Amino acid sequence: MRVRGLRKQYDGVTAVDGIDLDVRPGEVFGLLGPNGAGKSTAVEILGGQRTRDAGEVDVLGVDPGRATAAWKDRIGIVWQNTADTPEVSVAELVHHFTLYYERPRDPDQVLEQVGLTDQARKRVHALSGGQRRRLDVALGIIGDPDLLFLDEPTTGLDPEARRRFADLILGLAADGTTIMLTSHYLDEVEVLADRLAVISQGRIVAEGRPRDLGGRASAVSTVHWMSADGPRSLDTDTPSQVVVDLVAEFGGEVPELRVDRPTLEDVYLRLIGATDE
């Protein structure tokens, strides 16, 4: 996927303001940003669901603005909000969606992967919010897409379901599916994403691997330990060396040793805070 100078306005308000992106085949790419930052608009354009005002976009070798049925067959999308179909069962809906694709996945296997086997005969209206979200994911992957867009896919899921979802996504990526993920769960993104970008006010303000984003890898860390005189701490950009020195000083284990490094959340909040000032 290659994006250059992507722009979109609504009634004179700029939603996406000239972003550039490169997403490599087979990687999980995270797109982070506060509500209203332009994430969903960008995803809608890349998925062929919305027109753009300017810019160049290449998704699987095709301009989404001129998408063909064959191209759409290679795309899977899980939107943040989806339409309801309450009068059919879970299994009926998933089996029905196989008719839309040339090479669909086995629907029973998909239901098992998303944890809905026991709910297969339930009507959609009888599902809990978290179960409905699992169904949305099932419908997004039933076509065995080459590229999968996930817009806040784990909203409403409990911790066990989120863990199952993470395993599913990592398995899809291992099989070669390219995935673009938006999420407010930064711990989830850190585990899943190979690379990510932060978008704020319609612009990309940082991009890189989760451990490197916004200078995170070289940011100051704090080393804590217990000395004979009480708790001690030291801010340093070389925490490993400080730990080595402390081990030598104590002749082995350092009491209550802890190293606090900036979290992805710390870096993210700093990045979007800086652009909002």
Token representation of residue 212:
């490197």
Kindly give the confidence (pLDDT) of every residue in the chain, 277 residues in length, as a single tens digit, with 9 standing for 90 and above: 999 999 999 998 999 999 999 999 999 999 999 988 999 899 999 999 999 999 999 999 999 999 899 999 999 998 876 656 768 999 999 999 999 999 999 999 999 988 899 999 999 989 888 888 889 889 999 999 999 999 888 877 788 888 888 888 888 899 899 999 998 888 889 989 999 999 999 999 999 999 888 888 778 889 999 999 999 999 998 899 999 999 999 999 999 999 988 889 888 998 988 555 4
The architecture in CATH of the region 2-213 reads: 3-Layer(aba) Sandwich (3.40)
Nearest-angstrom CA–CA distance, 252 and 246: 8
Give the long-range contacts of residues 164-170, CB within 8 A, separation 24 or more: 164/113, 164/114, 164/115, 165/114, 165/134, 165/137, 166/191, 166/192, 168/113, 168/114, 168/137, 168/141, 169/28, 170/28
> What's the pLDDT score for residue 158?
81
Strands 147-151 and 178-182: parallel
Token representation of residue 122:
């339930």
Count the neighbouring beta carbons within 10 Å of the beta carbon of residue 265: 11
Q: How many helices (H) and strands (E) in the chain?
A: 9, 12
Q: At what angle do helices 129-141 and 159-174 cross, to 10 degrees?
A: 10
> What's the pLDDT score for residue 277?
43
Nearest-angstrom CA–CA distance, 140 and 149: 8
Q: Give the residue extent of every domain in the chain.
A: 2-213, 215-276
Token representation of residue 154:
């784990």
> What's the pLDDT score for residue 82?
64
- What pTM was estimated for this model as a whole? 0.82
